Structure 1
Amino acid sequence: MRVGDELAELTIPVTRTLIVSGAIASRDYQDVHHDSVIAQERGSPDIFMNILTTNGLVGRFITDHFGSGAILRKVAIRLGAPNYPGDTMVLSGSVEKVDGDTATVKVVGANGIGKHVTGTVTVTVPVTVPGGTSAGGAA
């Protein structure tokens, strides 16, 4: 982990199923996340992804890169362009700061109309010592 390291991009097809299931899983029953007609009545061209689904995808992006032992310490994100069905979001990131086993990663998720999500994630990556154990305990 070094300042400037780029994370491999994660491409996520934004499907209607992803939007609706993410809203249900996060208990966000706002109609604009599952009812196209109501979303259109409220000025949106279609349903759109909620922030909790986006937050989960950002977390996945970080743990895909740093491993399942990574601990998300802080996720500070801001939404921009909505994620609509049929689009694709590409998450990218780079390490901005490293302090021992903790890094701050700048994250951007872009879709066809702009930046859907921007922000930073602070993540701790336990150091593995020879023999397969982490410095903080057993493997």
Structure 2
Amino acid sequence: MSGARTADGVSVGDEMPALAIPLTRTMIVATAVASRDYQDVHHDPDLAVERGSKDIFMNILTTNGLVDRFVTSWAGPGAVVKRIRIRLGAPNYPGDTMTLTGSVTEVDGSLVTLAVRGENALGVHVHGDVVVLLPHGTA
């Protein structure tokens, strides 16, 4: 597998390349609807403001999916995500950019733990850890 990472080819402290994700209104609405999250704060700006937000904002299912995409893009097609544990902070609003970063914090045989963080103009949107199962072999 070209570009695939292996458990033997990663070490604690390895940094993942940053991934900048433009947060468009269309993306926020479409991903909320695609995940069957019909809460009005994810698609109706007037109701979001009425409920105390400055605008619509991204739902947690989308954030979880973007964290998964970030990790699997780095890890390669042989990786299996075993656990994603994240916490949300500042909202992701339309017109901003979320930049995901991460690093390897533990390697235990084939299991690799990654610390991930996503920041936008307001601060930390998401942080947590992801455990992936990587194949063995040389990178």
TM-score (normalizing by structure 2): 0.91
SS in 2 for 1:126: coil
Unaligned runs of 5+ in 1: 130-139
Corresponding position of 2:33: 24
Partner letter of residue 32 of structure 2? A
1:97 and 2:106 aligned = yes
Quote how far apart the aligned CAs of 1:83 are: 0.1
SS in 2 for 1:56: helix
Quote how far apart the aligned CAs of 1:102 are: 1.1
- What fraction of aligned residue pairs are identical, expressed as a percent? 61
Match of 2:66 among 42, 57, 62: 57
Match of 1:2 among 11, 27, 36: 11
SS in 1 for 2:86: strand
Corresponding position of 1:82: 91
Corresponding position of 1:66: 75
Unaligned runs of 5+ in 2: 1-9
SS in 2 for 1:61: helix
Paired residues, number:
129
Quote how far apart the aligned CAs of 1:109 are: 0.1
Quote how far apart the aligned CAs of 1:126 are: 1.5
> Following the alignment from structure 2 to structure 1, what is the Cα–Cα distance between the partners of residues 34 and 78?
23
> Following the alignment from structure 2 to structure 1, what is the Cα–Cα distance between the partners of residues 70 and 91?
19
Quote how far apart the aligned CAs of 1:127 are: 2.2
> Following the alignment from structure 2 to structure 1, what is the Cα–Cα distance between the partners of residues 40 and 135?
41
Quote how far apart the aligned CAs of 1:68 are: 1.8
TM-score (normalizing by structure 1): 0.91
SS in 2 for 1:73: strand
CA displacement 1:37-78 (0-9 Å, x = unmatched): 000000101000000000000000001101022111000000
Which runs of structure 1 show a deviation greater than 3 angstroms over 4 or more consecutive aligned residues?
none
Quote how far apart the aligned CAs of 1:100 are: 1.1
